[in-house]
Amino acid sequence: MKYVLVTGGSRGIGRAICLSFASEGYYILVNYNSNEPEAENTLHQIRDKGGEGELVKFDVSKLEEVESSLSSWQGRNPGKYIQILINNAGIRKDALIMWMKNEEWNDVMNTNLNSFLFVTRFLIKEMLINKFGRIINIVSLSGLKGLPGQANYSAAKAGVIGATKALAQEVAKKNVTVNAVAPGFIRTDMTKDLDESQLKVMIPMGRFGNPEEVAEAVRFLASEKASYITGTVINVNGGLYT
């Protein structure tokens, strides 16, 4: 059995990713920070699809919580390791740079960028020892082209893209792949405050995407079929930016 950790797995794209693995025989660790009812709902849906898993609570932006929680899991599961890591957790705190507060910058950096280091660094050691691993980072259209009002978010996601490409070269010989998926406008809680009717005219396909469409790209990158793909970014954006 392969173990999959999905950070921010309780809702939206994270939940869709969890469910995409549920019918494939994976054991899914659903990470969440505060919304336990939604995390429980995700786990219930995983089991409804014939899968199995558990909830893993920690704040990805806090090194001590990450290491404590994952160390505890390893202690309860000797001889097992997490083969697939999906770095999905993220937040937005949009503001024009001239009005952006320090905490709005720092909070987004800590959750979207620093978390990549905290979680990946802890888990990659076992991947390298076992000579197998898949790391898939959920980035964003914003990290590729930049979006006004999202200097903090764009910078964080661009940073993860750079780290993806660098880490891929560090670990390729150990059969560990590192890739990213960059969603465009996807219908989730994170985009519910956006005006879809106005924004969809910018999208060649003329619509927002669904979380399941992102999840399918993630599942492919986690599969054996993607064993020779590393250091790449797959865009899931309806043709908005390629």
Closest CA to 189 of 15, 41, 58, 4: 15
Q: How far is CA 109 from the centre of its chain?
A: 15
72-104 pLDDT per residue, tens: 999 999 999 999 999 999 998 999 999 999 999
Structural tokens at position 159: 């940073």
Using the structure block, give the residue that is written with the tokens 């949009």. Answer: 94
pLDDT tens digits, 107-153: 999 999 999 999 999 999 999 999 999 999 999 999 999 889 999 99
- For 151-204, the pLDDT digits (tens) are 999 999 999 999 999 999 999 999 999 999 999 888 877 666 666 677 788 888
Structural domains for the chain: 3-236 (3.40.50.720)
In contact, 186 and 149? CB cutoff 8 Å: no
Residue with tokens 């250091």, as numbered in its chain: 231
Catalytic, 153? Answer yes
CA separation, residue 129 to residues 16, 22, 82, 132, 157 (Å):
30, 26, 12, 8, 28
Which of 26, 27, 32, 153 is an active site residue?
153
242, pLDDT greater than 70: no
